[in-house]
């Protein structure tokens, strides 16, 4: 029983981590928190639902369409609006990204309406048994994809040439620029990756819960909690943060009370922000916030 709770905590933790990874990548590179990430993911989910349910496409095709769509959309946002924000004060950036989120949210409501939808799971069929534990195939897929992405990003950032360029830009954009790096492209790519992650996160999350313009919200708050816990600038941190959050809140719900989950998350965030704002693995931001 305990292990089952932990496993489902890991699964949901992976989802939090996926939702949070997009936030980390953008923040790491440009010190912007993209408050519209949730709404971007919502839009992706709606497009997925139209393709899957409305047009009956297979998940594989959906993914093929969704990923470029999400990436282009994110790139357009960055080039069109975010690019003007980089030197602005913190409050302005927060408001602008909230504004982007509001517009996307409104467009979703306009195009897809306010009725609740649901999406079929990606892989169906009976769960795999192991001892007295049940591993739903969908859950295993989620963990597998999260692990795959983690390893992929690690290899990209640590081992590849462009990954090194991106890391250099994170640390010191001015020096990077002086060395000939096109910082603008690095920023754009970070948004493209965030778009990719929102597509993947969206596809994995939406079958689990219902879909409407607000359904992503409770996920996003946990993504933010994972971000706080792991550190705003650490990919590894947000994954650890997501897993810790998923497992601990599941344990709390199972053994103490489901009523206290959101209080727990809020208090956890507050404590970390006050005591150790850089989180478990992040660096303290050098720029004055």
Partner 1 sequence: MKETLLQKTLEKKSSSLIWALFFAFFIVLPNVVSDFWTYALCLAGIYSIGTLGLNILTGYTGQVSLGHASFVGIGAYTTAILSHKFGFSFWLTMPSAILVTSLVGFMLGLPCLRLKGLYLAVATLAFAWAIPEIILKWSSLTGGYSGISIEALRILGIPLESHIWFYYITLFILCLVIWATYNIVNSKFGRAFIALRDSEEGAKAMGINLSIYKTLAFVLSSAFAGIAGNLYAYLVGTVTPYDFGFWFSIYFLVAIIIGGMGSIPGSILGGAFITFLPLLSSALRNLPNIIYGAMLILVVLLLPGGLMSFVKLMIRKFPATKAGS
Under rule CB under 8 A, residue 284 binds partner 1: no
- Chosen residue from 68, 106, 120, 184 binding partner 1 by CB under 8 A: 106
Under rule CB under 8 A, residue 218 binds partner 1: yes
Under rule CB under 8 A, residue 114 binds partner 1: yes
Instruction: Residue 42: name the closest of 95, 102, 128 by CA.
Output: 102
- Chosen residue from 5, 53, 63, 94 binding partner 1 by CB under 8 A: 94
Distance in angstroms (rounded) separating the CA atoms of residues 32 and 74: 14
Phi and psi, residue 207, nearest 5°: -65, -25
Under rule CB under 8 A, residue 217 binds partner 1: yes
Reduced to 3 states, what is the DSSP secondary structure of residue 85?
coil
Distance in angstroms (rounded) separating the CA atoms of residues 50 and 202: 13
Tokens of residue 90, six digits: 């913190």
Reduced to 3 states, what is the DSSP secondary structure of residue 122?
coil
At closest approach, how far in Å is the CB of 72 from partner 1?
19
Distances (CA, A) of 286 to 120, 170, 176, 267, 282: 45, 11, 16, 26, 12
Under rule CB under 8 A, residue 116 binds partner 1: no
Q: Which is nearer to partner 1, 203 or 226 (CB)?
A: 226
Instruction: Residue 193: name the closest of 277, 96, 278, 71 by CA.
Output: 71
Under rule CB under 8 A, residue 269 binds partner 1: yes
Q: Mark 240-259 with x for binding to partner 1 (rule: CB under 8 A) and - for no binding.
A: -------------------x
Binding residues (CB under 8 A) for partner 1: these are 33, 81, 84-85, 88, 90-96, 98-110, 114, 214, 217-218, 221, 224-225, 227-228, 232, 259-263, 265-266, 269-270, 273-274, 277, 289
């Amino acid at each position: 029983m305990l292990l089952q709770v932990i496993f489902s905590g890991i699964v949901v933790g992976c989802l939090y981590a996926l939702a949070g990874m997009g936030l980390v990548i953008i923040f790491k590179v440009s010190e912007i928190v993209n408050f519209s990430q949730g709404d971007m993911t919502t839009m992706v989910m709606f497009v997925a639902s139209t393709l899957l349910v409305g047009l009956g496409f297979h998940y594989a095709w959906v993914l093929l369409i969704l990923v470029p769509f999400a990436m282009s959309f994110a790139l357009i946002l960055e080039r069109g609006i975010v690019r003007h924000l980089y030197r602005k004060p913190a409050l302005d950036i927060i408001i602008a990204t909230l504004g982007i989120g509001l517009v996307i949210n409104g467009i979703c409501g306009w195009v897809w309406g306010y009725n609740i939808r649901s999406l079929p799971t990606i892989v169906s069929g009976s769960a795999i048994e192991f001892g007295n534990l049940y591993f739903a195939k969908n859950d295993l897929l989620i963990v597998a994809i999260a692990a795959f992405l983690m390893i992929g990003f690690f290899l990209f950032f640590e081992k590849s040439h462009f990954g090194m360029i991106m890391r250099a830009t994170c640390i010191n954009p001015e020096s990077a620029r002086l060395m000939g790096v096109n910082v603008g492209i690095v920023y754009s790519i970070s948004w493209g990756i965030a778009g990719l992650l929102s597509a993947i996160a969206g596809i994995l999350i939406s079958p689990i819960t219902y879909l409407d313009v607000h359904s992503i919200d409770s996920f996003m708050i946990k993504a933010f909690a994972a971000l706080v816990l792991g550190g705003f600038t650490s990919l590894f941190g947000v994954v650890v943060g997501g897993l810790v959050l998923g497992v601990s809140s599941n344990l709390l719900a199972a053994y103490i009370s489901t009523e206290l989950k959101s209080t727990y998350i809020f208090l956890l965030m507050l404590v970390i922000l006050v005591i150790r704002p850089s989180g478990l693995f992040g660096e303290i931001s050098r720029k004055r916030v």
